[in-house]
Each structure stands twice: as C-alpha cells, then as structure tokens.
Chain A
C-alpha cells in the first residue's frame, strides 16, 4: 500500500523531471545525428570529469509480457549474472521474496525517483545513477536453480523436467564458490554502473530473503555502425566472432520452438519459461595470442577477421559439411563443427547464446584472468546445451579454455501485468496463497 502511494507520487515528479531531461538530451541527440563525432569535440570547453553524454540512458525495455525480458532482447554492452541463496524458510516468505523482487525489477527497468527520506536516515537508493534512476536499457531476468525444488518448500513435484544441478564436464575445473545457486539474476544494460545499481538495490531491499553467492560481470565490445548489409556478431576474448550461428531472436515462431518451453511433458506452470545455462569459462589468452593464426582458425572453424566459414564467404554463410566429409576444409574437431554439425537433429536443438566477455584481474601466475561469461537459453536443456557440450568433449580448443563456474537455472515465465508476479504460476500450482497483496 505504502509502495503504491510512493509510486504515484514519485511518478508525478518523474514525468516533469524526465521531460526536462528528454528535452535537453533531444538537442544533444540531433547534434550527434547531423554532425557525428566532431560536433562533440568542438563544443564548449569541458571538464575531464564531465559525465559522458549519451541519450541511450533513457532507453527502456518492457517488463510485462508472456516471457521475461533479457532473453530474446538484443544484448546491450554490459551484462552480469548474480547467483543467490534463498534465505526464506517457509512458503509465505518465499512468496514474499518473489513479490518484492518483482516490485523492485518493475521499478528499476522503468526508472523514476526513489522516495526521499529524512536526511537522518540512510537514503533509500544508493544514488549512483543520481536522484532520478534512468532505465538505461536495463533488463533483469530471474531464474531458479534445481536446489529451490528441494524439500524446503515442498516444490519437488513441480520441478521442470530437465532442470538439474550442473555436473562437471571432462574439461571443467569447477570452483564451488562460483557454482550453482537457488536463484540467478541476469542484469543487462548499456553500462556496468546501471547493472551494479540494480544489484545493490536488490541486495539492500531483500537482506532477509536473499544472500549473494557469486557474481560475474561482463561486457561486449561495440563496433562502428555499418552502412547496409547484415550486422555482424560481437567478438569474444579469443578475437573471434561469437554467436554467428545463433537462431534469429526476432523470429517469434522460431523462438517458440527453440527457446520457450511448450513441451507438454513439462509442468504447466513452466510454459513460457526457458532453461538458462551459465558458464564462467576462463580463456588462456596469453597462450592463445601465441598460437599461429591458421591454427586458431582451424580450432574454431572460422576465419578470424570476417567470421566466415573456412570455405570463405561472409559470417552468416552456412558451412557445407556435406561436401567436406573428411574435414579437409573445416576439421572434424573444429569447435563450430562439433557444436553444430548442421544436421536436422542439431538444427532442432539450437540454443540461443547471449554471452559477455569478462576480465577479472591477474592470476597468481601473473596471467590475465579473463574469458567468457557464457549464457545460453533453450527449451530443452538435455538436448540443448548438455548435448552440445558432450559433443565438444576433447575438442582442441580445450587446451585454451577452462570452465570454472556457473550453473543451470530455469528462467520463470514472464509477468503478465501489475497484479501478477514472478513465479506466481509455480506457487499457485504448488498450492500456495498467491492472490491479493
């Protein structure tokens, strides 16, 4: 009740502030459009500490819908996965957790003014985005781990069919402190600060319900806009384009088949959800950078500069394995050939990858601790990621990568409107009280 009132009040103020903000940014925006970069360089003297001006901070993504945002949403430049232990010990608190989480996410994705409290109290918001929280293209995607379906809440009978605790693959060196969790939050936005702001908001608002277990941030390198032609995939820290063979996220029918759960063997509440795979994959970049180009390309199965298949062409051309049965063009153990052999079976179990590059510091050996925050979504975890990863066993790329963490999660179906909240269908199916406020 208090929250509703605050929201109304906050929004009255926000609309005014935001109109002013939009007006100011509109002027700057058109200057950029007509004159491009030199206009900025030639403008009035600036202080080195002036904030970079970018009208994209006002971009926002819809929160409500049959599916959660952040899955087929185009990937912005900054991402983060945070995994939590759920501290609720009974069903009432579990429902309270997901209601509260829903409220916070709805606010953070839309933006607005946090309440102003008495200055003698700690402020309601960390303030790192200023007094008006801008949406900055933020999406927060909530997924639950297999451990949430243990005996704590009597949810065992309602577990999605394929959801399991991630088990070690042959090349993995999993660190317990970087694995699993009852709940994962994927934050994506235009800037790392926006993701951090959102994480701090959630940590501050749910201290009795969630305990942070691990987190990993990542980024995606921007490229100059390309006039005409197909957009190109971003590059990973091996310098190769990543995601070239991704199914088109804009094709709703395809996403319904490959990403969103609709299988009748799945519990009814799970329809419209998806399986999330997170893997923290360290790359041995010094060694990779000391590997001959032709060897790098043979290991991946693509041209490094263009991303095209080894037979040539452009990035999104399909490699012709039928005409290359012995691997004379694309080696049989090349990463892309093992991952996706382009059979009809593999075609039906393609996964939607949405990864970020991460860089954490320096290892004890003085090497760079960096790699790929692999994130993928699929309707069928067993035939999706797990089958692909099993095919990749023994690939030559293994010498250059080491998965150290991550987990399997189930991304809950979307929140359909203001009366709804994340996980409501699951809790209702399990007989919990979910109506009213």
Chain B
C-alpha cells in the first residue's frame, strides 16, 4: 500500500474552502492523515476477510460442515467492520451479504447467495450440500471487493460518515437478532460493526476532542457501555449465541447504540464535511 499516493489522492478530494459553521477550526488538511490511516485499516480487514473466506469456502466445498460452521462468524466479522466502504459497491454487497428477506422468494430464491445463503445451509439444515457453487462465488466476490477497494480513493465524507452508518446498521438489524437468524452469531457481527465505528472515531478523535471535548467524552462513554455488555458474552473462541443476551442487556445495548447513532450523525458536520 502506497501511503503517500493515497494521501495525495485524498487531498484532491477535499473541499478547497472550509465553510464549517458547525466546526470552524478543523482544516481539510487535518483529515488527510486519519483518512489514509483508515484505508490501511480497511485493507487489513480485507486481507483477513479474503484469507478467512478462503478457509471457510474450502471447508464448505470439502463438506466439512463442523469446520465451516466455526469459521462462519469470525470470517464475516471483517466484512461487518468495513461495511460502509464495502457497501459502496452495491452489486458485490448484494451478492456477499444479502439476507433471505431481501429476495422475493426468500430462502428459495435463486438470487439468494453469499454468507447468509451458506449460513442457511450450514445451520438450518446442518449440511453443505449444493453449497459449492455459492462458496466459489463468495470467494470470487470478496477477492473482487478487495481489488476494487485497493484501487479506490476513499472519499473522506464516506469514511467519517461510516462511523454513524455502522451504528445505524446495528440499531436497525443487529439489535433484533435478525441478521444471523440461522446461526445466531449476531454478537460477532455486532462486534465487527462496533469495532469498525470505533476505529473511525479513534482516528478522528484528536480533531473531535479539540473542538468539542464533551461530545468526545460522551461518545467514548457509550462505546464503553457497548464494550462492557459484549464482553459479558465473550467465550474462549468468540461470542455466545444471540439468544443468551438478556432483555436487560439488549436494552442497555440499544440505548447506547441509538445514542451513538444520534451523536455520530453529527460527525461529518462537526468536521466540516458535506
């Protein structure tokens, strides 16, 4: 990864003037370094995603259901962490991560593919039968995703906006346990989304804290609440199934996530981005 090239590319994308009534003291130049650092994070996650998907799809194709089941959640966590960037490519996102209810005929729909299609086979039917072509396509899709993102200059507003997008993602679909409805590994995805969002906030933290320390502190406190609850459900090799989450903890998570979504929705404006 050529960090300098990326920095230059980012510079060209930034607004020339800084009409930041929301936040006057952040200059576009201040954003260059965190955006470049974020790209390194994304590429890192993509590398893990590609390697993980290779092992996962190999297990599926070998009919090793037990192994495939254990690899499902840790693999897709890397996708969840960078979802706002991955989603820039709608065709791939649909192919990699759509859920049965995104398709008119649900699980029976021929277009139902990707992680959740394999999840359906592995967890609802405890079988890898007929999944080989789906696995091949998933592997091809994540490889293609990595290639496209490598070539992409990350738009700063997408990067900063991504922190809130990830929280919206959790608030809308993860908190209900409907994302991984066959495997109930939602807490892994939850962790992926939260880590991805926290990474963005951390990278821009010096800029945020400089102008609005109270805001920065509040955001940090809510991330800490989420962390504390998720840690309660950690196991030796991951997270407990979603059904174990108590009503009380679900409410605590929902409150912290909704508040983060609300607060982080102001982040672009605070940094003077459109």
Interchain CB contact under 8 A, B272 and A120? yes
Q: A118-B22, A120-B20, A120-B21 are in contact. Are A211 and B269 (CB under 8 A)?
A: no
Contact of B254 among A89, A117, A121, A211 (CB under 8 A): A211
Interchain CB contact under 8 A, B258 and A120? no
Interchain CB contact under 8 A, A118 and B269? yes
Q: Which residues of B contact A120 (CB under 8 A)?
A: 20-22, 268-269, 272-274
Residue on A nearest B263 in the bound complex, by CB: A207
Q: Does B208 contact A (CB under 8 A)?
A: no
Q: Which residues of B contact A207 (CB under 8 A)?
A: 255, 258-259, 261-262
Q: Which residues of B contact A117 (CB under 8 A)?
A: 22
User: Scoring A residues 111 to 144 as 1 if CB is less than 8 Å from chain B, else 0, what string do you get?
Assistant: 0000001101110000000000000000000000
A207 to B266, alpha carbons, bound, how many Å?
A: 15
Contact of B258 among A118, A121, A122, A208 (CB under 8 A): A208
Interchain CB contact under 8 A, B265 and A122? yes
Q: Does A209 contact B (CB under 8 A)?
A: yes
A232 to B265, alpha carbons, bound, how many Å?
A: 49
Q: Which residues of B contact A118 (CB under 8 A)?
A: 21-22, 269
Q: Does B105 contact A (CB under 8 A)?
A: no
Q: Does A87 contact B (CB under 8 A)?
A: yes
Q: Which residues of B contact A165 (CB under 8 A)?
A: none
Q: Does A204 contact B (CB under 8 A)?
A: yes
Residue on A nearest B218 in the bound complex, by CB: A208
Number of interface residues of B (CB under 8 A): 21
Interchain CB contact under 8 A, A122 and B266? yes
Chain B 234-274 interface residues, beta-carbon cutoff 8 Å to A: 251-252, 254-256, 258-259, 261-262, 265-266, 268-270, 272-274
Q: Does A398 contact B (CB under 8 A)?
A: no
Q: Which residues of B contact A85 (CB under 8 A)?
A: 251
Interchain CB contact under 8 A, B21 and A211? no
Q: A120-B269, A121-B269 are in contact. Are A208 and B255 (CB under 8 A)?
A: yes
A99 to B258, alpha carbons, bound, how many Å?
A: 20
Interchain CB contact under 8 A, B22 and A211? no
User: Scoring B residues 106 to 135 as 1 if CB is less than 8 Å from chain A, else 0, what string do you get?
Assistant: 000000000000000000000000000000
User: Scoring A residues 148 to 185 as 1 if CB is less than 8 Å from chain B, else 0, what string do you get?
Assistant: 00000000000000000000000000000000000000
A87 to B22, alpha carbons, bound, how many Å?
A: 30
Residue on A nearest B20 in the bound complex, by CB: A120
A120 to B273, alpha carbons, bound, how many Å?
A: 7
Residue on A nearest B19 in the bound complex, by CB: A120
Chain A 191-230 interface residues, beta-carbon cutoff 8 Å to B: 204, 207-209, 211
Q: Which residues of B contact A89 (CB under 8 A)?
A: 252
Q: Closest Cβ of chain A: how far from B92's Cβ, in Å?
A: 29
Interchain CB contact under 8 A, A211 and B251? yes
Interchain CB contact under 8 A, B255 and A121? no
A120 to B265, alpha carbons, bound, how many Å?
A: 10
Q: Which residues of A contact B269 (CB under 8 A)?
A: 118, 120-122
A241 to B142, alpha carbons, bound, how many Å?
A: 63
Residue on B nearest A86 in the bound complex, by CB: B251
Contact of A87 among B251, B262, B265, B272 (CB under 8 A): B251
A87 to B259, alpha carbons, bound, how many Å?
A: 11
Q: Closest Cβ of chain A: how far from B26's Cβ, in Å?
A: 11
Q: Which residues of B contact A209 (CB under 8 A)?
A: 255
Q: Which residues of A contact B259 (CB under 8 A)?
A: 207-208
Q: Closest Cβ of chain A: how far from B15's Cβ, in Å?
A: 11
Q: Closest Cβ of chain A: how far from B106's Cβ, in Å?
A: 16
Q: A85-B251, A120-B21, A122-B266 are in contact. Are A211 and B258 (CB under 8 A)?
A: yes
Q: Closest Cβ of chain B: how far from A3's Cβ, in Å?
A: 16
A85 to B22, alpha carbons, bound, how many Å?
A: 33
A204 to B262, alpha carbons, bound, how many Å?
A: 7
Chain B 203-236 interface residues, beta-carbon cutoff 8 Å to A: 222
A89 to B229, alpha carbons, bound, how many Å?
A: 14
Q: Which residues of A contact B254 (CB under 8 A)?
A: 87, 211
Residue on A nearest B164 in the bound complex, by CB: A122
A117 to B22, alpha carbons, bound, how many Å?
A: 8
The CB with the most chain A CB atoms within 10 A, among B222, B251, B258, is that of B258
A249 to B259, alpha carbons, bound, how many Å?
A: 40
A204 to B274, alpha carbons, bound, how many Å?
A: 22
Q: A121-B269, A122-B266 are in contact. Are A87 and B21 (CB under 8 A)?
A: no
Q: Closest Cβ of chain A: how far from B85's Cβ, in Å?
A: 21
Q: Which residues of B contact A122 (CB under 8 A)?
A: 265-266, 269
A208 to B256, alpha carbons, bound, how many Å?
A: 6
Q: Closest Cβ of chain A: how far from B205's Cβ, in Å?
A: 19
A85 to B261, alpha carbons, bound, how many Å?
A: 19
Chain A 56-86 interface residues, beta-carbon cutoff 8 Å to B: 85
Q: Which residues of A contact B252 (CB under 8 A)?
A: 87, 89
User: Scoring B residues 124 to 165 as 1 if CB is less than 8 Å from chain A, else 0, what string do you get?
Assistant: 000000000000000000000000000000000000000000
A204 to B222, alpha carbons, bound, how many Å?
A: 16
Chain A 368-407 interface residues, beta-carbon cutoff 8 Å to B: none
Q: List 27 A-B contacts (CB under 8 A).
A: A85-B251, A87-B252, A87-B255, A117-B22, A118-B22, A118-B269, A120-B21, A120-B22, A120-B272, A120-B273, A121-B22, A121-B266, A121-B269, A121-B270, A122-B265, A122-B266, A207-B258, A207-B259, A207-B261, A208-B222, A208-B258, A208-B259, A209-B255, A211-B251, A211-B254, A211-B255, A211-B258
Please give me the 5 A-B residue pairs with the lowest Cβ-Cβ distance, nearest first.
A120-B269, A121-B269, A87-B255, A207-B258, A118-B22
Given contacts A120-B268, A208-B258, 14 further A-B contacts (CB under 8 A): A85-B251, A87-B255, A89-B252, A118-B269, A120-B272, A120-B273, A122-B266, A204-B262, A207-B258, A207-B261, A207-B262, A208-B259, A209-B255, A211-B254
